Amino acid sequence: MIASSAEESCVYIQDGFQWDEQRAYLFDIDGTLLRSRDRIHFNSFFESVRNVMGQELVLDGVIVHGNTDPGILRDAFQIAKLDEDQWRPMLEDVLELMRTTVAARRGEMNLYKMPGVDETLAHLKGKHAALGVATGNLEAIGWIKIETVGLRDWFTFGGFSDNFAVRSDMIAHAAEKARAVAGPEVTVCVVGDTQFDIIAAQKNGLPTIAVATGHHTFDQLMQHKPEVCATSLEALLQSTVYSQSHVS
């Protein structure tokens, strides 16, 4: 089913899939819950590699959106043709400096929430769903962002990239946490804004709600066959409320 509640809004829901009736949800952070007008997190990659390894990081050719923080570094080092034994022993020091660098500048962050985030979280919470985050951010950085925009109280657990360069592995770990909270047999739904969220969820047998509030369009996300796709969480929630109000 594809519905349009306004000229700029589009929502697809796979027939038979109840997007707001799942027992646990894993929300990506950047592009899904919020976006940034600053470059504090992004610049921390360069500063940390420079200070720990004494060289300049180059991200040309590296996929950033939908990747993990360790994955971004790994891919950059591989493109630069650094042998693993040159960077692997220093990786944790680089990540730790990223954590402390971002924490020191948290007061300078300029973040804003995506449309309909609070309303969607309230809607799902009202249905007694377990709400967590699953993000390519390092844990310390991810929670700082969540706290900065006032979303921390919605989430009871999180899955982060500190020990997972591969996004599907991070999602698997986050899903384990979700089931520890909501029950071992519950369906865990991934909410994200890139095809990499969809692919990682599919590799773990999980359904996806894809939102085009990041760097990928509705049509681009639809190519990867998510169970739900919407131009925003606001559009998804509004289409659901509209549909329910017109049920005879």
Mean pLDDT of 136-146: 98
Q: What confidence tier does 218 reach under pLDDT thresholds 50, 70, 90?
A: very high
Helix, strand, or coil here: 18? coil
Summarised one tens digit per residue, pLDDT across range 110-139 is 999 999 999 999 999 999 999 999 999 999
- Report whether pLDDT(5) > 80: no
Q: What confidence tier does 1 reach under pLDDT thresholds 50, 70, 90?
A: low
Summarised one tens digit per residue, pLDDT across range 86-112 is 999 999 999 999 999 999 999 999 999
- Report whether pLDDT(198) > 80: yes
Mean pLDDT of 71-84: 96
**Between β-strands 130-134 and 111-113, what pairing exists: parallel, antiparallel or unpaired?**
unpaired
Q: What confidence tier does 248 reach under pLDDT thresholds 50, 70, 90?
A: very low
Note the pLDDT of residue 240.
76
Helix, strand, or coil here: 190? strand
> Which tokens go with 112?
């804003």
Token match 């109000």: residue? 245
Contact assessment for residue 19 and residue 25, using Cβ atoms and an 8 Å cutoff = no
Note the pLDDT of residue 207.
98
List the chain domain ranges. Answer: 2-37+112-245, 40-107
Note the pLDDT of residue 157.
96
Note the pLDDT of residue 241.
59
Contact assessment for residue 36 and residue 149, using Cβ atoms and an 8 Å cutoff = no
Amino acid (one-letter) located at 236: L
CATH architecture for the domain at 2-37+112-245 = 3-Layer(aba) Sandwich (3.40)
**Of residues 185, 70, 221, 76, the one with CA closest to residue 135:** 70
Q: What confidence tier does 8 reach under pLDDT thresholds 50, 70, 90?
A: confident
Handedness of CA 49, 50, 54, 56 (dihedral sign): positive
Q: Which residues contact 136 (CB under 8 A, 6 or more apart)?
A: 28, 30, 66, 67, 68, 69, 71, 161, 167, 170
Based on the number of CB atoms within 10 Å of its own CB, is 220 exposed (0-12), middle (13-18) or buried (19 or more)? Answer: middle
Distance CA 148, CA 197 (A): 23
Which percentage of the chain shows pLDDT scores above 70?
A: 94
